[in-house]
Amino acid sequence: MKKSALLALLAVSANSIFGQDFQNNKTDSISYYFREIREATAKGTKIWNKDLYGEILLVDPESRQFYSNEKSITSDPNHSEEIFGGKLPDTINIANTSIQWRGRNWAMIMLPLSADKHDRINLMAHELFHKAQNSLGFTQRNKQSDHLDQRDGRFYLRLELEALLKAIVSDSSKEQKKYLTDAISFRNYRHSIFPSSASIENELELNEGLAEYTGFMISSRDRKQVKDHFTEGVNTFIKNPTYVRSFAYQTIPMYGYLLNSKEPYWNQQITNDSDLTQFFSNHFQIKTKTLFKKDIEKLTENYNGPLIFKEEQIRADKIKKLIDNYKLKFIEKPHLEIHFEKMSVSFDPRNILPIEDKGTVYPQIRVTDTWGILDVHNGALMSKNWDKITITAPLKMYDPKIEGDGWTLLLDKAYTIRKDDKTGNFTISKK
């Protein structure tokens, strides 16, 4: 999915969207989006030997209004309109993702969509891949690559992307081979200095990487648009606060596009257990060899390495201070610790921050569970195994609403907040 690893359950009571409250131009646009993606996926059927078009929910995150292309969203079997919908209840998390509802799988996509046709199709096809990926033989895996928040992890990833971008914009097959060889070298060296990083990265690339490659291919950009797309994408990506959950949106579409020119539909050779680094090395006929630090350091000079390293060192110094502040905020000072029972979450994967072995800080996150609804806008610490979340101590309590520093909690009436007088920490438990 675009931007996150989500766990979502949908329980919606829906009605037709048509009526006095909706402007015709809005519903006309929605109809156009559905026709546009239906035509695009039909043309892209050969990519997976399957037309990915199916059930879609377009959702306005502000009003929580959703629009569907499927008649089954409404309980009225005689409904004759092309668009159906309603308003999502507060218990539903809104994100670009795939979700289950009434035993069926849906692609959820947030409005407004891009004004650029190719970007719109790219996003919608990405989520339709997630909707179909189990039937294609791929499980949804979203393990985050925490090493890509460390200086050297980010440094060698950025060098890999620099090399890939040079390969993309070059029209010389000889140059492309050289740049691809360097990209794989930076990748392999990164994996050599971070144990287990290869398998961890591979999981997300099989999930989000293949989804983004699918969206990119179905969007059918021409050669100039491809160059512009990847140039803008890399330049935007490197400015992200973190890469741990978003790098695969860049790497696999770039490798995949370059391989597609010589092996169309290479993706159909990929299985849930494929090693993508080895696969691309083999199919690009790149002979990998062990590179020592001195070899890599010399190679970095061809890809703006000294400047990138300086930028990443400055960031690493700032992040160290930020991590110390987060430890104080969520571990050492009094805080509220909430254990999950049956949770669903949505978050932005571009700005999270791993905190050593303590978990990951999510600056913005929304959690729904049997105990209620938590909205966070100023940071929360998610445990490493995703069994609890920690926020700052409550400041105001108005039954059923509780507020803290940058967060609000709507607590179910069956639960209450308790304070441990010894530690000063708070927990949620049933009454």
Dump pLDDT digits (tens) for 32-84: 999 999 999 999 999 999 999 999 999 999 999 999 998 766 655 555 467 88
Taking 70 as the pLDDT cut, the residues of the chain under it are: 1-25, 72-81, 102
Task: For residue 9, give the DSSP letter.
Answer: B
Confidence at residue 103, expressed as pLDDT on a 0 to 100 scale: 74
What does the alpha-carbon distance between residue 142 and residue 6 come to, in Å, rounded to a whole number? 9
Closest to 167 (Cα-Cα) out of 243, 226, 121: 226
What does the alpha-carbon distance between residue 88 and residue 111 come to, in Å, rounded to a whole number? 14
166's CB contacts (< 8 A; 6+ apart) are 175, 179, 303
Confidence at residue 395, expressed as pLDDT on a 0 to 100 scale: 97
Confidence at residue 5, expressed as pLDDT on a 0 to 100 scale: 38
Residue 424, judged by CB atoms within 10 A of its CB (0-12, 13-18, 19+), counts as exposed
Closest to 118 (Cα-Cα) out of 224, 24, 205: 224
* DSSP code per residue over 269-304: G--TT--HHHHHHHHTT-------HHHHHHHHGGGT
What does the alpha-carbon distance between residue 281 and residue 297 come to, in Å, rounded to a whole number? 21
Beta bridge partners of 336: 391, 426
Confidence at residue 343, expressed as pLDDT on a 0 to 100 scale: 94
Confidence at residue 100, expressed as pLDDT on a 0 to 100 scale: 84
Confidence at residue 25, expressed as pLDDT on a 0 to 100 scale: 58
Confidence at residue 9, expressed as pLDDT on a 0 to 100 scale: 32
- Condensed to tens digits (0 to 9), the pLDDT of residues 299-325 reads 999 999 999 999 999 999 999 999 999
pTM of this structure: 0.90
Confidence at residue 195, expressed as pLDDT on a 0 to 100 scale: 92
Q: Which residue has the tokens 């700052």?
A: 392
What does the alpha-carbon distance between residue 209 and residue 43 come to, in Å, rounded to a whole number? 21
User: Is the link from the previous residue into 400 a cis peptide, with omega within 30 of 0?
Assistant: yes
Token pair recorded at residue 326: 């987060």
Q: Are 425 and 335 in contact (CB under 8 A)?
A: yes
Closest to 248 (Cα-Cα) out of 218, 281, 211, 278: 211
Q: Are 338 and 371 in contact (CB under 8 A)?
A: yes
